[in-house]
Amino acid sequence: MKTSFVSNLAVQNAMRLTLQQSQLEMMKLQQEMTSGVWADTGTALGSTTSRSVNLKAELDRLKNIKDTNSLATQRLSASQGALSTMRTSVEEIRKQLISAKGTDDKGKLDVAHTTFVTQLSAFTAAANTQFNNEYVFAGVNSDVRPLTDYGPGSPAKVAFDTALSTFQAANGNVALKDFTSAQMTDFINNTLQPMFLGSGWDGTWSQASSDNIQTRISPNEVIETSSNTNTTGVRQFMMATVIATELMKPELSTAARDTALTAAQDHLEKGLTGIIQMGAQIGVAEGRVKAANTSIDNQVKLINTHILDIEGVDPTETSSRLTALKTQIEISYTLTARIQELSLINYL
């Protein structure tokens, strides 16, 4: 019979290795207790991991859509605020048109003219509202100022002056103050109307795109989340206000001025109807975004529940394993300490 010795150093190293492995396992269990899910999902789930990955990818997609919806909601809210200002301008001009009807009083006409100019400027500023450095009424051309300012030297003012001069020349160089009611009607219907309601509008009065921003507000729904200054409401308002500003001057005959006033009122009412419709469309879009967000929140909750079902650990079992492992480590510490005390010197 042959005997051999076992080094206490070898035993000590083996215990140290076991202790290290136990400590790593304890760290994983503590992490699982805190997070409620497996520390190493791939190892724990094996082939089932693909389900978890797919669900997390869908979760990320829904969260991205929700972030996009947040921007769309803010843009729509900014649009509603601007439309409120635009409606106020329409109402102020309407009041002045009513007060100016049938009057030849220069003072009243001058006050009305000042209101027309002021409210036209306010309307234009509201139509050029920006949110997040984007123009909300520019359609997809959100980096371009949509509505042209109307004032001396502006393309819109030059276009009007050119159209008026051309009409006057075609009618024997008739002065504006000598316009008859028939000439005023002819000028408004056949010269101004195509400028505002026809092809003359694009580029001169508006730089906006007629195509609005499309936003995916849910996995299966895409809607328009902006508007533009090419809508009928804006065109009609601008035509009405330019008529009131330029063609209702005190020096005109009463008949010609009343003809212009009647036309301005008609186009203003159509403009107000169109602007209200713009607000309604934006309101519908706001409602659909809100409903989509509610649906996304419910989907996110459901997906999170599924992920937890797949990746979740049993807290009772994990706690028991952690307790057992702590006990094992404590025993290992005790044994290691005793082994370290083994020495032949202690027995000599």
* Nearest-angstrom CA–CA distance, 45 and 25: 17
Phi and psi angles of residue 156, each rounded to the nearest 5 degrees, phi first: -70, -45
The whole-number pLDDT of residue 335 equals: 60
Phi and psi angles of residue 220, each rounded to the nearest 5 degrees, phi first: -125, 15
The whole-number pLDDT of residue 304 equals: 80
Structural domains of the chain, with CATH? 68-292 (1.20.1330.10)
Grouping H, G, I as helix, E, B as strand and the rest as coil, residue 215 is strand
Mark 205-235 as b/e (b = at least 16 C-beta within 10 Å).
bbbbbeebbebbbbeeeebbbbbbbbbbbbb
Q: What is the DSSP string of 65-83?
A: HHHHHHHHHHHHHHHHHHH
Task: Please give the single-letter amino acid code of residue 14.
Answer: A
Task: Please give the single-letter amino acid code of residue 37.
Answer: V
How would you write the pLDDT of the chain (348 residues) with one tens digit per residue? 555 555 555 555 555 566 565 556 656 655 555 655 555 555 555 556 667 678 778 889 999 999 999 999 999 999 999 999 999 999 999 999 998 888 888 999 999 999 999 999 999 999 999 999 999 999 999 999 999 999 899 999 999 999 999 999 999 999 999 999 999 999 999 999 999 999 899 999 999 999 999 999 999 999 999 999 999 999 999 999 999 999 999 999 999 999 999 999 999 999 999 999 999 999 999 999 999 999 999 999 998 887 776 665 546 665 666 566 666 666 666 666 666 666 656 655
Q: Mark out the alpha helices in 171-231 (DSSP H runs).
A: 181-187, 193-197
Tokens 């899910």 — which residue?
37
The whole-number pLDDT of residue 224 equals: 95
List CB contacts of 272: < 8 A, sequence separation 6 or more: 87, 90, 94, 233, 237
Task: Please give the single-letter amino acid code of residue 137.
Answer: F
The whole-number pLDDT of residue 277 equals: 96
CB 282 within 8 A of CB 78: no
The whole-number pLDDT of residue 261 equals: 95
CA distances from 133 to 130, 136, 144, 210 (A): 6, 9, 10, 20
